[in-house]
Structure formats: C-alpha cells, structure tokens
Amino acid sequence: MAALDDLATAVANNTTVEQSAITLIQGLASQIAAAATDPAKVSALAAQLNTSAAALSAAIVANTPAAPATPASTPAK
C-alpha cells in the first residue's frame, strides 16, 4: 500500500508543479502584452522568462531518469 500512496503523492506533486508552470507562463504573457510599448519592460520580462525557463529545464533534467540503454543489434544473417 505504501507504493500506491507514494504514487498518489508523486501525481499530486506533478500536478501542482504543472499548474504552477502554466500560471507562470500565462502571467508572463499578460505582462508582455501590457508592456508592449515599453522596451525596457519587455527586456526585463524577457530576462525573467529566460531565468524561469532555465530553472524549469534544469529541474526537468534533474528529475527525469535516464533512458535505459538499448542493446546493440546484431546484424541479420
């Protein structure tokens, strides 16, 4: 039963993280639209987006298991 509880916790955590990412992206899109006429604000938002994207990318890489190695195929006879 502990494995099922662990799985339920992992699913809940993933859902929370995914929703946070969606909220972040939607918020940035709104801010960019609002700042479209101010180049300094647009540059600041672009920097914020790059920082957030880098952090998200690093978290995905750090928490994604490596793909299993595929055995080398042998030539057909």
Give the whole-angstrom CA distance, residue 72 versus residue 43. Answer: 48
Q: What is residue 76's predicted lDDT score, i.e. its pLDDT?
A: 64
21 is a domain residue:
yes
5 is written with which tokens?
């509880």
Q: What is residue 77's predicted lDDT score, i.e. its pLDDT?
A: 62
State which residues form the domain around 50.
2-61
Residue whose tokens read 């479209």: 36
Give the whole-angstrom CA distance, residue 66 versus residue 72. Answer: 17
Is the distance from CB of 64 to CB of 56 less than 8 angstroms? no
**Tens-place pLDDT, residues 19-71:** 887 787 778 778 778 888 888 888 888 888 788 778 877 887 887 777 777 76
76 is a domain residue:
no
Residue type, 15: T
How many residues appear in the chain?
77
| Structural domains of the chain, count | 1
72 is a domain residue:
no
Q: For residue 72, what pLDDT band results from cuts at 50, 70 and 90? A: low
